[in-house]
Amino acid sequence: MADGNVATGLSQDDDVLNEAAAWRADGTNVALATVVSTWGSSPRPVGSHLAVNENGKLVGSVSGGCIEGAVVAEAMEVMKNGKPKVLEYGVTNELAWEVGLACGGSIHVYVEKVE
């Protein structure tokens, strides 16, 4: 997975997108986080989703737990200002250690608002 290439094959994430769509249809603000690249040992493959709504409800995951808290905080921001953002967590990033990506990998997460 050195170049972040991951065969998708079997999607497990349909329920995340369905939930995000349902929240949005109810008029709730929603942000969607997607793993867009990974290096080293990242627990979730490229294309994994985490959806967050304005009430702080979550569905899905982008890391198996280690960076979810930080991603949710960023997602709340993106929900407010509507500007998409690429987040980077990894061994070269001190913040990543603080938020606990101790699994030794590095990931990029794209966060966008569902308009």
Partner 1 sequence: MKQETLKQLLEDQVAKKAVALATDIDSGEQTLIYRDAASGPDAEHGEILSITRQSILDDRNKVHDVGGRRIFIEVFNPPLRMLIVGAVHIAQPLSRMASVTGYDVTVIDPRASFATDERFPGISLNGEWPDDAMRELDPDRRTAVVTLTHDPKLDDPGLEVALKSDAFYIGSLGSRKTHAGRVERLSAAGFTETEIERIHAPVGLDIGSISPAEIAVSILAQITEVLHRKIEGRAAA
Query: Contact residues for partner 1 (CB under 8 A)?
Result: 3-12, 14, 17-18, 20-21, 24-25, 32, 34, 36-37, 45-47, 83-84, 86, 108, 110, 112-115
Nearest-approach distance from CB 81 to partner 1, in angstroms: 12
- Sign (positive or negative) of CA dihedral 87, 91, 93, 96: positive
DSSP string, 28-87: --EEEEEEEEEESS-SS-TT-EEEEETT--EEE-SSTTSSHHHHHHHHHHHHHH---EEE
**Identity of the residue, 9 or 56, whose beta carbon is nearer to partner 1 in the bound complex:** 9
Q: How far is the CB of 77 from partner 1 (least distance, A)?
A: 14
Rounded distance between C-alpha atoms, residue 109 and residue 7, angstroms: 18
Select 94 or 115, whichever has its Cβ closest to partner 1: 115
Q: Which is nearer to partner 1, 80 or 83 (CB)?
A: 83
Q: Give the nearest distance from C-beta 57 to partner 1 in angstroms.
A: 17
Q: Are 78 and 57 in contact (CB under 8 A)?
A: no
100 vs 110 by CB, closer to partner 1:
110
Q: Do 49 and 112 touch, CB atoms closer than 8 A?
A: no
Question: Least Å distance between CB 113 and partner 1?
Answer: 8
